Every structure is written in structure tokens, then in C-alpha cells.
């Protein structure tokens, strides 16, 4: 659609967006009022309101109760480094998800048995309804929440073994590769797919974002001899992080 044929509210939002990007409207500046937008651009109240909604949905501005709408300070994206396979040797869950050695981090977790839903069952190639161990993580980098992760392991592989609970037992806090090796399961491949979707309210609240804004989802599965032994979704805010892959040339 040519620019001139764009709906009026998108033309107004585009001009205001450019002013924000160019620094004409710097962070923490109050966005022009609805009446000011109406007068400056010669549009109706409805158009002015819709333009403001667009900027809010894009995360460029935020409403403050009783005060108005203000330009948000945009975070400088940090890097989440991915290198795929990890050999045994003390890899922690944080290092499994963030392999940049310059980043220091901690994690919190909780594990619970559940039956596999259709999606998890398909990823693990197990029957729908089979038992899995689900573990949820909150990862913190430099003290701030940076990633969420939910992993599922088939209990037909880990059940009644010392590594059934990822964060308990003799290998508590180790990575998947090392834990599986302890029960004679040799991980030899890992796949990852990266996608994006709107953040769920609880995800945004935990990560310090705004509900509905985009999150990156890294869906990862570890294999041993072609059999999936762990699958996980790693989630982070799309406007704060970039996923960087380091892939060796063979």
C-alpha cells in the first residue's frame, strides 16, 4: 500500500515513531496529548487515539495513571550465546542456556511430575499421556530476570534413577548432557528452533516486560541415538535480547 493510501492513524503513528527514533521525543518525554495530535495533524479524536494505541502496542510509549502517555526508554539488547552441544564437565543449567562466559548468572527451579500433553508427547516421541518430569526455571543475569525455561524429560528414561529430579540428587544443577551420561544415556545431538509470539501476562510480569509484547522462544531438544531425552522452551523478551549462535565449520 503506498504511503499516501495508508490509514490516517498509521501515518500519524509513523511520524510520531520517527520523532521517537530520532530523539525529537526522548525517553520520559510526555507524548503530545490527544487534542495536540488532533490539531497538529488535522485528524479526528478517533484517529489520534488509534495512533497512540499503535505506539503503545509497539512498546514505544507507556501510559501513567493520572499523568498521561510517555516515551519509554528502550533497552540496549543483550546477547544470549548459543553453541548447541555441551560435553560433560560441570555445565550448569545457566551455562546450558547462556554460554557467554562473561555473563554471570543464577537460577531458581521447581520440578513436578505430569502427564505429557499432545505437543510435548510429539516432541519427545512418547505416547500422549505418558509421564514426564516438568521443570520450570527462572534465570537471572547480573541479578535481573533474563530467561524463563520449561523442560520436560520422559520418566521412562529418567524415572527411578538418581537424575530423575534435575535439581536434586548427586548431579543437582548439572546440565542435561552430564546428567544423562550418569545413567548411561549418551547425548549426541541437539536441535533448536527459534520463534516469536506475544508474551503471556505471567511471563511479562516475571521478566519485567509488558503483557503482549513479543518474546523469543527457543525450542530445544536433546537426542541420544535419535531418541529425544529432553525438550525445553527457553523464553526471553525480544526487545532486550538477541540470540547469537556459534556454529563450528566441519
In this predicted model, which residue has the larger pLDDT, 42 or 103?
42
Burial class (CB within 10 angstroms; exposed 0-12, middle 13-18, buried 19+) of 245: exposed
Domains along the sequence of the chain with CATH: 8-71 (1.10.10.10), 78-245 (3.40.1410.10)
Give the lowest-confidence range in 26-40, 41-55, 128-142, 198-212: 198-212
Does pTM top 0.85 for this prediction?
no
- pLDDT, one tens digit per residue, over 205-240 is 899 887 777 899 999 999 999 999 999 999 999 888
DSSP classification of residue 25: S
What whole-number distance in Å separates Cα of residue 188 and Cα of residue 227?
10
Type and span of the H or E element at 234: strand 227-237
Is the pLDDT at 89 greater than 60? The verdict is no
pLDDT band per the 50, 70, 90 thresholds, residue 103: low
| Average pLDDT in the chain | 86
What whole-number distance in Å separates Cα of residue 198 and Cα of residue 217?
10
CA distances from 10 to 21, 51, 212, 214, 227 (A): 16, 6, 20, 20, 49
Type and span of the H or E element at 229: strand 227-237
CA distances from 58 to 61, 63, 195, 212 (A): 8, 13, 18, 9
Amino acid at each position: 500500500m503506498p504511503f499516501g493510501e495508508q490509514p490516517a492513524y498509521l501515518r500519524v503513528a509513523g511520524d510520531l515513531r520517527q520523532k521517537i527514533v530520532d530523539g525529537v521525543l526522548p525517553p520520559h518525554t510526555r507524548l503530545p496529548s490527544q487534542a495536540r495530535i488532533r490539531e497538529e495533524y488535522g485528524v479526528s479524536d478517533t484517529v489520534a487515539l488509534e495512533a497512540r494505541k499503535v505506539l503503545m502496542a509497539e512498546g514505544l510509549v507507556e501510559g501513567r495513571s493520572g499523568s498521561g502517555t510517555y516515551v519509554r526508554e528502550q533497552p540496549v539488547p543483550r546477547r544470549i550465546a548459543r553453541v548447541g552441544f555441551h560435553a560433560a564437565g560441570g555445565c550448569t543449567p545457566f551455562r546450558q542456556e547462556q554460554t557467554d562466559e562473561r555473563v554471570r548468572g543464577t537460577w531458581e527451579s521447581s520440578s513436578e511430575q505430569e502427564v505429557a500433553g499432545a505437543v510435548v508427547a510429539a516432541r519427545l516421541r512418547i505416547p500422549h499421556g505418558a509421564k514426564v518430569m516438568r521443570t520450570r526455571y527462572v534465570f537471572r543475569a547480573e541479578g535481573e530476570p533474563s530467561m524463563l525455561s520449561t523442560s520436560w524429560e520422559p520418566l521412562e528414561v529418567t524415572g527411578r534413577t538418581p537424575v530423575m529430579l534435575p535439581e536434586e540428587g548427586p548431579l543437582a544443577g548439572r546440565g542435561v548432557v552430564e546428567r544423562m551420561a550418569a545413567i548411561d544415556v549418551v547425548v549426541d545431538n541437539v536441535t533448536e528452533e527459534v520463534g516469536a509470539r506475544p508474551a503471556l501476562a505471567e511471563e511479562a510480569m516475571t521478566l519485567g516486560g509488558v503483557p503482549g509484547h513479543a518474546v523469543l522462544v527457543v525450542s530445544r531438544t536433546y537426542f541420544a541415538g535419535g531418541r529425544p531425552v529432553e525438550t525445553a522452551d527457553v523464553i526471553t523478551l525480544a526487545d532486550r535480547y538477541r540470540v547469537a549462535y556459534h556454529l563450528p565449520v566441519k
